[in-house]
Structure 1
Amino acid sequence: MFDDDLARRIRPLVSRRDDVVEKKMFGGLAFLVGGHMAVAASGRGGLMVRVPPERHDELLAEPGAAPMEMRGRSTPGWLRVEAGAVEDDDELAHWVGIGVDHAGSLPPKE
């Protein structure tokens, strides 16, 4: 089950957009922008964040960031951010902003 408190902290950060939808996915609560998953309160704690592929390595070097793996494979363009790295509201806003901005830059899904 995902962290309800973390989801409550994410909501105001995404509420400035009118194209955000919440959806339970992968054991967490995902926030989709234009139909694209941007960020999620992970069922394993912390965040899953969609990142621009060209910034993947740069952002991976930030505290608490790790490659996101699915079925034992690293998923390019996605990072996991441990819960301790987003306890601070500014840090959470930083990561949510990256995910929302990137997902918002993609063509909307029908």
Structure 2
Amino acid sequence: MPYDEHLADRVRELLADESPVTEKRMFGGLAFLVAGKMAVAASHGGLMVRVDPARADQLLASTNARPMEMKGRAIRGWLEVGGENLRTKRQLANWIAIGTATARTLAGTGTNP
């Protein structure tokens, strides 16, 4: 199933003032990289968000996000936010801010995108 193009357009709009931002098709979705590091990705069911692993438990407890899983395994430092929790501009902007802040802390560290 392709990624949610409307969601990708909304993400693109909110990242318009960030620099540098690149887009790359990854994991069946459209990833948005900030300073060369993946920050968020629009998928078919919502948004993948890069988070500081030290903050992940707090975000899981206080939001409707869930652990990002691939092949049945949780991916450390990534959360999945369903589209029903991204309906407003404010909701989406909050998650994008978390993802971009985390990506910026990794810029220049040699960590994978």
Identical positions, percent: 52
Unaligned runs of 5+ in 2: none
Match of 1:27 in 2: 28
Which residue type is aligned with residue 19 of structure 1?
P
Asked if 1:103 corresponds to 2:84, the answer is no
Which residue type is aligned with residue 81 of structure 1?
V
The count of corresponding residues between Structure 1 and Structure 2 is: 108
| More off after superposition, 57-66 vs 81-90 | 57-66
Distance 1:61 1:23 in 2: 30
TM-score normalised by the chain length of structure 2: 0.89
Match of 1:8 in 2: 9
Which residue type is aligned with residue 78 of structure 1?
W
Mapped contact 1:14–1:100 kept (Cα < 8 A): no
Q: 1:61 aligns to what SS in structure 2?
A: helix
Mapped contact 2:36–2:107 kept (Cα < 8 A): no
Shift of 1:75: 0.7
Match of 1:17 in 2: 18
Which residue type is aligned with residue 89 of structure 2?
D
The 4+ residue runs of structure 1 with deviation greater than 6 A are none
1:79-94 to structure 2, matched below 5 A, reads 79-94=79-94
Distance 2:46 2:106 in 1: 24
What is the Cα-based RMSD across aligned positions, in Å?
Answer: 1.2
Shift of 1:64: 2.5
Q: 1:16 aligns to what SS in structure 2?
A: coil
Mapped contact 2:19–2:35 kept (Cα < 8 A): no
Asked if 1:75 corresponds to 2:75, the answer is yes
